[in-house]
Amino acid sequence: MTAPASLAERERLAAAGALDVERLRASFPILDQEVHGHSLVYLDNAASSQRPEAVIEAVSDCYRTYYANAHRGVHALSERSTDEYEAARGKVARFVGAGKDSEIVFTRGTTESLNLVAQSYARPRLLPGDEVLLTEMEHHSNIVPWQLVCEQTGARVRAAPITDGGDLDLAAMAGLIGERTRVVAVAHVSNALGTVNDVAAVARLVRDRSDAAVVVDGAQAVPHMQVDVSALGCDFYAFSGHKMYGPGGIGALWGRGELLASMPPYHGGGAMITRVTFERTEYTVPPHRFEAGTPSIAPAIGLGVAVEFLESLGLERIERHEQALLSHSLEQLNDLPWVQVLGQPPGGESPRAAVLSLVIDGAHPHDAATILDEQGIAIRAGHHCAQPLMERLGVPATVRASFGMYNTHEEVDRLISGLHEVRRIFG
Ligand code: C6P
């Protein structure tokens, strides 16, 4: 590792609007450790990022000082929990540009958010022969919920193609949108390739050709770029707390207010009703209509703090830093003819987030991951819950390195040395 930046260098970077990564890393206690005798290089951020002290502290403070059930008690602790929980909703709403706080439904994460849309929005509307249009680069969370609802209704799933370079083929997609299309569901950023899809362009295509709802899987976008749901022109936007420096077990769905108001709940239980008899139940308004049972109060509060943390650094600065890491990686990978970088550099119009999906000659991705782990480098190997994409690209699995705000250029160099070690062993 190179020596820490001098004070003068850090001041120069700060003046240029760059992230002070060294100081930032000190906010993430988990990063300061050795793994197998090497300092940890954490490059598995697309699976789960790590949490800053501020988030850990907010969750622990909730449990230590004021936790009680929310929306249920009149006692002081319950009122404080309720206030903090609802304040977190407001922070998340502002973060994604929602018009109203009530357009944010807290869920367990992207997976639950997408299942909610499939069951509460799509299921009552889909008829036999209707179509749900996905893309070939979707995560299983944006495929399986749609298959389930299609099996329940007689509708069918279709998939818009991608190019060999890993871009969404918008022209081909346009040709697949028609009168029978009821839902178009697309990843904002691919977890396996890093492709950043032009969601606003997809939404325009859909509006010109159908009255289908546009559902966006934002799991890999919100930690890395400024997201404004109204500018995107979509109807639903799903994301997870644990990928955006927040706690696990919490995420959110943004939905257009009028659509949420028209949807039945898909879970039943406490806190989502106005009146229950044995004959029938009247449901309360969104978002509470979709939050049956005791919510994940402390994780939601932690998510609110994660959002403030991201905002205090600035998404543009984070994106610029991560793009610099991506360029630095690609420059070096260019010199390794035995490593293929899937979907990089961009073959078409779409930019890429800082995700590298690598195929290494002669080395199985799981073996490569084990060798990298022995050097303290955490990456993910496998199909990344995107089997149809792997099939489309003709590979069973890849080695994936995914960057976050706290990664450094020295860590990129460690990854490259690690790949050389993989090559040395599997030659
Ligand atoms: N991808 C990855 O390693 P959950 O598990 O509900 O928080 O998120 C699901 C999900 C949905 N969409 C995309 C684009 C995703 O990347 C993920 C999670 C992780 O790529 C774990 S499989």
Beta carbon of 49 within 6 Å of any ligand 1 atom: no
Closest atom of ligand 1 to 191 CA is 16
Burial 61-94 (b: 16+ CB within 10 A, else e): bbeeebbbbbbeeeeeebebbbebbeebbebbbe
Measuring from atom 21 of ligand 1, which residue has the nearest CA?
47
Question: What pLDDT does residue 10 have?
Answer: 64
Q: Where are the alpha helices (DSSP H) in 45-159?
A: 53-61, 76-95, 110-116, 144-153
Beta carbon of 380 within 6 Å of any ligand 1 atom: yes
CA–CA distance, 195 with 352 (Å, rounded to integer): 5
Closest atom of ligand 1 to 112 CA is 6
- Report DSSP state, residue 290: G
Question: What pLDDT does residue 3 have?
Answer: 44
234 close to 216: Cβ distance less than 8 angstroms: yes
How many A from CA of 355 to the centre of ligand 1?
13
Extract the tokens encoding 401: 């390195």
Extract the tokens encoding 155: 């509708």
Beta carbon of 252 within 6 Å of any ligand 1 atom: no
Extract the tokens encoding 131: 């179509």
Measuring from atom 8 of ligand 1, which residue has the nearest CA?
110
Extract the tokens encoding 383: 């199909």
Q: Which amino acid is at 314?
A: G
How many A from CA of 47 to the centre of ligand 1?
6
Beta carbon of 141 within 6 Å of any ligand 1 atom: yes
What is the three-class DSSP state of 181? strand
Mutating to test ligand 1, I would choose from 49, 110, 168 the residue with most ligand atoms within 8 A of its C-beta, which is 110
Question: What pLDDT does residue 2 have?
Answer: 38
How many A from CA of 180 to the centre of ligand 1?
29
Beta carbon of 259 within 6 Å of any ligand 1 atom: no
pLDDT tens per residue across all 427 residues of the chain: 334 556 676 666 666 788 999 999 999 999 999 999 999 999 999 999 999 999 999 999 999 999 999 998 899 999 999 999 999 999 999 999 999 999 999 999 999 999 999 999 999 999 999 999 999 999 999 999 999 999 999 999 999 999 999 999 999 999 999 999 999 999 999 999 999 999 999 999 999 999 999 999 999 999 999 999 999 999 999 999 999 999 999 999 999 999 999 999 999 999 999 999 999 999 999 999 999 999 999 999 999 999 999 999 999 999 999 999 999 999 999 999 999 999 876 666 689 999 999 999 999 999 999 999 999 999 999 999 999 999 999 999 999 999 999 999 999 999 999 999 999 999 7
357 close to 419: Cβ distance less than 8 angstroms: no
Residue 21: CB atoms within 10 A of its CB come to: 20
**Integer CA distances (angstroms), 344 to 156, 286, 333, in order:** 32, 41, 10
Residue 293 half-sphere exposure, CB side, CA atoms within 13 Å? 8
Measuring from atom 18 of ligand 1, which residue has the nearest CA?
47
Nearest CA to 342 among 386, 276, 285? 386
Residue 162 pairs with which residues in a beta bridge?
A: 168
CA–CA distance, 156 with 177 (Å, rounded to integer): 13
Q: Is 150 a catalytic residue?
A: no
How many A from CA of 229 to the centre of ligand 1?
20
Beta carbon of 385 within 6 Å of any ligand 1 atom: yes
Measuring from atom 16 of ligand 1, which residue has the nearest CA?
191
**Strand pairing category for 38-39 and 41-42:** unpaired
In the chain, what are the domains? 7-51+315-426 (3.90.1150.10), 56-311 (3.40.640.10)
How many A from CA of 114 to the centre of ligand 1?
11
Nearest CA to 238 among 117, 120, 380? 117
Q: Which amino acid is at 2?
A: T
Mutating to test ligand 1, I would choose from 115, 142, 243, 380 the residue with most ligand atoms within 8 A of its C-beta, which is 243
Beta carbon of 247 within 6 Å of any ligand 1 atom: no
Closest atom of ligand 1 to 141 CA is 11
How many A from CA of 141 to the centre of ligand 1?
7
- Report DSSP state, residue 352: B
Beta carbon of 241 within 6 Å of any ligand 1 atom: no
Measuring from atom 5 of ligand 1, which residue has the nearest CA?
111
Beta carbon of 139 within 6 Å of any ligand 1 atom: yes
Beta strands (DSSP E) in 361-408 are: 377-378, 380-382, 398-402
Catalytic pick among 62, 150, 234, 385: 385
Beta carbon of 109 within 6 Å of any ligand 1 atom: yes
Extract the tokens encoding 274: 């106005």
